[in-house]
């Protein structure tokens, strides 16, 4: 047994503990939560995640960028020639995701302890949250697509549960249902993709699939089909056009949920999946092209909608969609590690933004409309500062985390396709604009709410602010993980992931790397652009104190945008209505009128002929004899002459 194997066996326990701890936390809270004091349940949940995080650190320390550890736990679906095991794969990509999930997950648990303190569903909340983490961990740790799919659907379920957390509200429930169903549409794609792999490759292990795929001709129909189907799955989960509408609605859930699930972790599962299958995707340039188009379109589309949203969380939601689009654009460009990098930095600042928004809402006792805020910077300083920094990060303010990760993507876009670069840049500027519109309207100027609420504005407790501060630090310095080579350092992040992504490099079209000078120019352009946009926003919302109009006084394009281009309405008319109509039609017309009528008509014919035939029995002997004679005659004639 060599050293590596010893090393590996030592890592199995922590690897198993990583998902197990949240599961245990879930079970304890779920089964016995009722009997435990309320305060303890939150801490149990948080500590479970902390445990996972510590185990993840152990894993991180125990491995390096080239190692990958495969743990088969048991045969799950195994008979005949099908063998799908339940197992984990620990490699740099997994560990990256694990760190994000458990790390941010822990912070958000911590935050929630404060945030949810007064909620009657406190224990339930943490139960769900732990379950979510468990599934998310399965998603990223699985060593084959089906285990990933468990997590994939599992997080969907938790998302459903958490969006509809306040289940007394009908519209929240609708939002939850919508999220689940839309995800399921994607899931069907994923499932079919798996079928293709299982059928043609005989396995759905990552490694086998990758190996088998390489035996096929690049861009073959099969590969395109598989990757397209997988991407459909990713579209659902990561809220890409046209399956994005659930994500803004998902903001119905408690804010920490939005932070954890609908910003930092679950929605990035699609990106994780594509990066995980990077060899497959790089073999299918057509799909990559498609991903690029979808990503870019989503990025701009969502950003535009974000411009006119007035709900603090909705703005952040569209921003998330937009950023996800950016990430997919990166993937579409073949820049897998850049995409992942943005996932990480995005997790930091977007989680922070949501938590900050949560803190604002907490301070205002549930007020979410930015038109009724303003001037909050004075009252809640920690929140204000962290929120501001996060906004700067997302806007691409130089040298904050978002700046680096975005630039990396933009640089790749510039290398390959100038149009894409232009569009993404615009989208990035729009982002900067609406983010600062949000910041300025919330924290600057005068308070626009009632006096009554004003009195109660207070800073959040430490359990809430601590995560804000930690995340803020990460959002600020997170970019250091991936300092570009311009700064004459190794790109730490992409190096770390290189073992995962290098396999695909050979299949990607090679583009001339932009020179360092150009890269610096690009960075400057982006940075300066962002600053200019921020200043413009400052001018508009702080200097001139322009307030967003009431919804019903909007006209023209504004109205369309603020109504999210009526996408929901279109879906309603195109899919939902027809199905309900079809349902009634099937029930009434086909089921009742055609099929059942056919059945009943048979019965009716029989019974009516019974009623008719009984009339033959007239009770009259003469008739009977007559009928007998006629009968005999007919029979004789039949026998004799026919």
Partner 1 sequence: MENTLQAVPQNWYLVLSTLLFCIGIMGVLFRRNAIIILMCIELMLNSVNLLLVSFSAYSGNSDGQVFVFFIMVVAAAEVAVGLALLMSIYRNVASTDINVLNKLKW
Partner 2 sequence: MSLYLFLTLAILTIISALAVVFSKNPMYSVLWLIVCFFTIAGHYVLLNAQFLAIVHLIVYAGAIMVLFLFVVMLLNLNADTEPHKSNLTKIASAIAAGLFFVVLIASMRATELGEFNLPNKTSIGFVEEVGKKLFTDFLLPFEISSVLFLSAMIGSVLLAKKEKK
Partner 3 sequence: MMTLLLLLLPLVAALAVLLVGNKMASRVALLFTVVEFGLTIYAYTIFKQQGPDAFVFFHDWISSPKISVNLGMDGLSLVMIGLTNFLLPLIVLSGFNREYSNAKTYFSLMLLMQFALIGVFMAYDGLLYYIFWELALLPIYFIALGWGGKNRVPVTLKFFIYTLAGSLFMLFGFIMLYYYNPNASFNITDLYNNPICSCNQGWLFWMFFLAFAIKIPIVPFHTWQADTYSESPTQGTMLLSGIMLKMGTYSLIRWLLPILPAGIAEWGPLAITLCVIGIVYASIIAIMQNDLKKLFAYSSVAHVGLIAAGIFALNIEGLQGSVLQMIAHGVNVVGLFFCADIIINRTQTANINNLGGIRNIAPRFNTLFMIVVIASVALPLTNGFIGEFLLIYGIFKYNTWLAVFAGLTIILGAVYMLRMFQNSMLGNTNENTQHFADLNWSETLVLGIIAITIVIMGVYPKPIFELVQPSLDIILNKALAK
462 makes contact, choosing from partner 3, partner 2, partner 1, none, with CB < 5 to 8 Å by partner type, with none
Candidate residues 576, 588, 599, 629; the one interacting with partner 1 per rule CB under 8 A: 629
Candidate segments 214-222, 286-294, 357-365, 592-600, binder of partner 3 by CB under 8 A: 592-600
What minimum distance in Å lies between the beta carbon of 86 and partner 3?
A: 8
For residue 185, state whether it binds partner 3 (rule: CB under 8 A): yes
For residue 586, state whether it binds partner 3 (rule: CB under 8 A): yes
Say which DSSP state 449 is in: S
What minimum distance in Å lies between the beta carbon of 611 and partner 1?
A: 9
For residue 582, state whether it binds partner 3 (rule: CB under 8 A): yes
Nearer to partner 3, 532 or 601 (CB): 601
- Measured distance CA(394)–CA(526) in Å, rounded: 12
Candidate residues 187, 205, 249, 415; the one interacting with partner 3 per rule CB under 8 A: 187
Mind giving me the DSSP string for 482-507?
G--GGGSS--HHHHHHHHHHHHHHTT
Nearer to partner 1, 171 or 617 (CB): 617
Candidate residues 177, 372, 540, 559; the one interacting with partner 3 per rule CB under 8 A: 177
What minimum distance in Å lies between the beta carbon of 639 and partner 2?
A: 8
For residue 601, state whether it binds partner 3 (rule: CB under 8 A): no
For residue 626, state whether it binds partner 2 (rule: CB under 8 A): yes
Q: Which helix (H) or strand (E) holds 566?
A: none
For residue 618, state whether it binds partner 1 (rule: CB under 8 A): yes
What minimum distance in Å lies between the beta carbon of 125 and partner 3?
A: 13
Candidate segments 164-172, 463-471, 481-489, 529-537, binder of partner 3 by CB under 8 A: 164-172
- Measured distance CA(33)–CA(94) in Å, rounded: 31
574 makes contact, choosing from partner 3, partner 2, partner 1, none, with CB < 5 to 8 Å by partner type, with none
637 makes contact, choosing from partner 1, partner 2, partner 3, none, with CB < 5 to 8 Å by partner type, with partner 2
Nearest partner of 277 among 244, 310, 231, 225, judged by Cα: 231
Give the distance from CA 494 to its chain's centroid.
23
For residue 167, state whether it binds partner 2 (rule: CB under 8 A): no
Task: Give Cβ neighbours of residue 416 (< 8 Å, ≥ 6 apart).
Answer: 333, 509, 511
Task: Give Cβ neighbours of residue 82 (< 8 Å, ≥ 6 apart).
Answer: 198
Candidate segments 91-99, 194-202, 262-270, 536-544, binder of partner 3 by CB under 8 A: 194-202
Query: Can you tell me which residue has the tokens 């994500």?
Result: 247
Contact criterion met (CB below 8 Å) for 210 and 276: no
Contact criterion met (CB below 8 Å) for 377 and 384: yes
Return the beta strands (E) in 307-357 as ranges: none
Contact criterion met (CB below 8 Å) for 95 and 63: yes
- Measured distance CA(449)–CA(372) in Å, rounded: 5
For residue 532, state whether it binds partner 2 (rule: CB under 8 A): no
Candidate residues 617, 631, 635, 637; the one interacting with partner 1 per rule CB under 8 A: 617
- Measured distance CA(230)–CA(235) in Å, rounded: 9
Candidate residues 1, 5, 640, 642; the one interacting with partner 2 per rule CB under 8 A: 640
- CA separation, residue 639 to residues 167, 635, 636 (Å): 79, 6, 5
Nearer to partner 3, 178 or 362 (CB): 178
For residue 626, state whether it binds partner 1 (rule: CB under 8 A): yes
What minimum distance in Å lies between the beta carbon of 270 and partner 3?
A: 17
Say which DSSP state 578 is in: H
Contact criterion met (CB below 8 Å) for 18 and 48: no
Residues 564-623 within binding reach of partner 2 (CB under 8 A)? 622
Q: Which two tokens stand for residue 340?
A: 């992942």
Query: Can you tell me which residue has the tokens 């300092």?
Result: 483
Residue 76 has φ and ψ, to the nearest 5°, of -95, -65
Residues 100-159 within binding reach of partner 3 (CB under 8 A)? 146, 149-150, 152-154, 157
Nearest partner of 69 among 6, 148, 146, judged by Cα: 6
- For 461, other C-beta atoms within 10 Å of its C-beta total 15
Residues 34-73 within binding reach of partner 3 (CB under 8 A)? 34
Q: Which two tokens stand for residue 638?
A: 């039949």
Angle, CA of 274, 566 and 170, to the nearest 5°: 85
Nearer to partner 2, 37 or 619 (CB): 619
What minimum distance in Å lies between the beta carbon of 157 and partner 3?
A: 6
What minimum distance in Å lies between the beta carbon of 212 and partner 3?
A: 17
Phi-psi region of 85 (alpha: psi -120 to 50; beta: other; left: phi over 0): beta
Nearer to partner 2, 601 or 633 (CB): 633
Candidate segments 2-10, 19-27, 292-300, 620-628, binder of partner 1 by CB under 8 A: 620-628
Nearer to partner 3, 146 or 241 (CB): 146
Task: Give Cβ neighbours of residue 9 (< 8 Å, ≥ 6 apart).
Answer: none
Nearest partner of 191 among 156, 218, 216, judged by Cα: 156
List contacts with partner 1 (CB under 8 A).
614-615, 617-622, 625-626, 629
List contacts with partner 3 (CB under 8 A).
30, 34, 74-80, 82, 86, 146, 149-150, 152-154, 157, 160, 164, 167-168, 170, 173-174, 176-177, 180-181, 184-185, 187-188, 191-192, 195, 198-199, 579-580, 582-584, 586-587, 590-591, 595-596, 599, 603
């Amino acid at each position: 047994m060599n050293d590596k194997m010893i090393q590996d066996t030592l890592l199995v326990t922590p690897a198993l503990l990583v998902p197990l701890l949240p599961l245990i936390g879930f079970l304890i809270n779920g089964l016995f939560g009722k009997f435990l004091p309320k305060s303890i349940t939150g801490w149990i949940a948080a500590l479970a995640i902390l445990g996972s995080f510590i185990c993840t650190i152990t894993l991180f320390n125990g491995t390096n960028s080239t190692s990958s550890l495969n743990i088969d736990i048991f045969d799950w679906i195994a008979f005949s020639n099908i063998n799908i095991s339940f197992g984990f794969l620990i490699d740099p990509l997994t560990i990256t995701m694990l760190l994000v999930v458990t790390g941010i997950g822990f912070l958000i648990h911590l935050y929630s302890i404060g945030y949810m303190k007064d909620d009657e569903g406190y224990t339930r909340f943490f139960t769900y949250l732990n379950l979510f983490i468990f599934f998310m961990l399965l998603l990223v740790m699985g060593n084959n697509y089906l285990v990933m799919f468990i997590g994939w659907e599992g997080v969907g379920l938790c998302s459903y549960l958490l969006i509809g957390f306040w289940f007394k509200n009908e519209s929240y429930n609708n939002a939850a249902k919508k999220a689940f169903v839309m995800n399921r549409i994607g899931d069907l794609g994923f499932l079919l993709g798996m079928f293709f792999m299982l059928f043609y490759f005989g396995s759905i292990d990552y490694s086998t699939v990758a190996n088998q795929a390489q035996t096929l001709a690049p861009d073959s129909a099969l590969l395109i089909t598989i990757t397209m189907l997988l991407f459909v799955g990713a579209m659902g989960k990561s809220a890409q056009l046209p399956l994005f509408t659930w994500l803004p609605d998902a903001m119905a859930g408690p804010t920490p949920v939005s932070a954890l699930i609908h910003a930092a972790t679950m929605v990035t599962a699609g990106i994780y999946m594509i990066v995980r299958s990077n060899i497959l995707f790089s073999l299918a340039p057509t799909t990559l092209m498609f991903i690029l188009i979808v990503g870019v379109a989503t990025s701009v589309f969502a950003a535009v909608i974000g411009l006119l949203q007035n709900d603090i969380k909705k703005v952040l939601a569209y921003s998330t969609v937009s950023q996800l689009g950016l990430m997919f654009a990166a993937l579409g460009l073949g820049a897998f590690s850049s995409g992942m990098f943005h996932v990480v930095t995005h997790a930091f600042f977007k989680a922070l933004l949501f938590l900050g928004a949560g803190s604002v809402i907490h301070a205002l006792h549930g007020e979410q409309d930015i038109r009724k805020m303003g001037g909050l910077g004075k009252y809640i300083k920690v929140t204000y500062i962290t929120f501001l920094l996060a906004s700067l990060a997302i806007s691409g303010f130089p040298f904050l985390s978002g700046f680096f990760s975005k630039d990396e993507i933009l640089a790749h876009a510039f290398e390959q396709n100038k149009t894409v670069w232009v569009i993404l840049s615009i989208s990035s500027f729009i982002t900067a604009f609406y983010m600062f519109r949000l910041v300025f309207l919330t924290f600057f100027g005068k308070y626009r709410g009632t006096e009554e609420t004003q009195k109660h504005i207070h800073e959040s407790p430490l359990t809430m602010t601590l995560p804000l501060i930690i995340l803020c630090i990460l959002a600020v310095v997170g970019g250091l993980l991936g300092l570009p080579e311009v700064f004459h350092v190794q790109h730490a992040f992409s190096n770390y992931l290189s073992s995962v992504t290098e396999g695909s490099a050979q299949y990607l079209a090679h583009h001339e790397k932009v020179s360092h000078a150009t890269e610096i120019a690009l960075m400057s352009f982006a940075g300066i652009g962002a600053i200019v946009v921020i200043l413009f926003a400052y001018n508009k919302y702080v200097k001139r104190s322009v307030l967003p109009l009431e919804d019903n006084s909007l006209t023209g394009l504004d109205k369309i945008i603020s109504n999210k281009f009526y996408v929901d309405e279109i879906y309603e008319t195109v899919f939902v209505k027809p199905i309900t109509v079809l349902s009634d039609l099937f029930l009434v017309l086909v089921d009742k009128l055609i099929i059942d009528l056919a059945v009943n008509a048979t019965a009716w014919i029989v019974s009516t002929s019974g009623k008719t035939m009984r009339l033959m029995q007239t009770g009259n002997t003469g008739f009977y004899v007559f009928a007998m004679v006629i009968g005999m005659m007919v029979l004789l004639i039949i026998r004799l002459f026919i």
